[in-house]
């Protein structure tokens, strides 16, 4: 399609990223997909094409700045521009601070915060040149409320919101049409629980998600609506929770 958007998605190999790719594909979007699991990306490219979109992928670990830069370059080399960059890759290995799961702390900071920053750094130069674009950052309800065991995850998602608001102001000061949107989901049934390394927390989450969790398609639809808004207006933040989530 002539006017279809070029959308880059990190963490596209499952859950919210994958669902977003599929929903946008139905509109003929040109998708550039990044994640670490190559087999999943290969399958998704085929599905996107069957749904009516175009797709390319490159294996991308968002903790590696050069790989994130290559993802952006692939989009521009292939499709000539980047209309939307979705910083979606994330993990949630929650635990109590006294457990000192330092590897998990480091991974969450590297993937959830630094990965988002590297995505912004890779996309913004192109968007400034285009004088248009849209950065969508996935935060969380946990970026609004902290609770026992959620300290580092919440801190990373709080950081995503702080970074997003600063970016929004910086883009507005430059008088570009670069929009910034934060999407903060509640309980969404995805593979995210597999990143929880503490068995106790994992089992509590399983019960919680079984009771309240909803499909990742709901978040994908929200992302699509944010993209579809005319570009002189932006949803700056959306909290999307299961209706029955307590
Ligand atoms: P999934 O586990 O299904 O998806 C996470 C994605 O992130 C995967 O595609 C994974 O791909 C990717 N990823 C993880 N580490 C890296 C890395 N180092 N480099 C590149 N990609 C990486 O979970 P969700 O879809 O739920 O998660 C998507 C986002 O939504 C996350 O930021 C999460 O924090 C957020 N979120 C989720 C909620 C939920 O209830 N599910 C609630 C609130 C927020 P791969 O392993 O192939 O690299």
pLDDT in tens, 127-172: 999 999 999 999 999 999 999 999 999 999 999 999 999 999 999 9
> Which residue range(s) make up the domain with 80?
6-237
Cβ-count burial 112-121 (b if 16+ within 10 Å, e if not): bbbbbbbbbe
Cα 62 to ligand 1 centre (Å):
11
∠ CA 128-161-34, nearest 5°, is: 60
- 41 CA closest ligand 1 atom index: 47
Do residues 34 and 8 lie in contact, with contact meaning Cβ atoms separated by under 8 Å? yes
Instruction: Indicate if ipTM > 0.85.
Output: yes
Is 244 within the bounds of a domain? Answer: no
Looking at the domain assignment, is residue 92 inside a domain?
Answer: yes
Domain-embedded: residue 35? yes
Q: Give distance in angstroms: CA of 104 to centre of ligand 1.
A: 14
Is 103 contained in some domain? yes
Q: For residue 153, indicate whether it is catalytic.
A: yes
Residues with CB under 6 A from ligand 1: 10-11, 13-17, 35-37, 40, 60-63, 88-92, 111, 138, 140, 185, 187-188, 190-192, 216
Task: Quote the number of domains for the chain.
Answer: 1
- Give the sign of the dihedral formed by CA 10, CA 14, CA 17, CA 21: positive
What is the CATH classification number for the domain harbouring 167? 3.40.50.720
Residue 181 is assigned to a structural domain of this protein: yes
Predicted TM-score (pTM) of this structure: 0.98
Per-residue pLDDT tens digits for 192-222: 999 999 999 999 999 999 999 999 999 999 9
């Amino acid at each position: 399609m002539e006017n279809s958007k070029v959308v880059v998605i990190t963490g596209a190999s499952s859950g919210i990223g994958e669902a977003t790719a599929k929903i946008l594909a139905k509109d003929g979007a040109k998708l550039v997909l990044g994640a670490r699991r190559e087999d999943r990306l290969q399958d998704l490219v085929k599905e996107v094409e069957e749904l009516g979109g175009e797709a390319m992928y490159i294996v991308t670990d968002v903790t590696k700045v050069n790989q994130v830069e290559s993802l952006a370059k692939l989009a521009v080399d292939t499709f000539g521009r980047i209309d939307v960059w979705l910083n979606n890759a994330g993990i949630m290995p929650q635990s109590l601070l006294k457990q000192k799961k330092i590897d998990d702390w480091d991974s969450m900071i590297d993937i959830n915060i630094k990965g988002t920053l590297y995505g912004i750094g890779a996309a913004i130069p192109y968007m400034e040149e285009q004088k248009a674009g849209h950065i969508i950052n996935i935060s969380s309800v946990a970026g609004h409320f902290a609770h026992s065991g959620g300290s580092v995850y919440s801190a990373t998602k709080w950081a995503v919101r702080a970074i997003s608001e600063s970016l929004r102001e910086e883009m507005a000061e430059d008088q570009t049409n670069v929009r910034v949107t934060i999407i903060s989901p509640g309980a969404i049934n995805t593979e995210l629980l597999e990143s929880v390394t503490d068995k106790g927390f994992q089992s509590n989450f399983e019960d919680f998600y079984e009771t309240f969790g909803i499909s990742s398609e709901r978040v994908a639809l929200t992302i699509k609506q944010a993209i579809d808004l005319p570009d002189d207006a932006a949803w700056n933040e959306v909290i999307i929770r299961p209706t029955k989530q307590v």
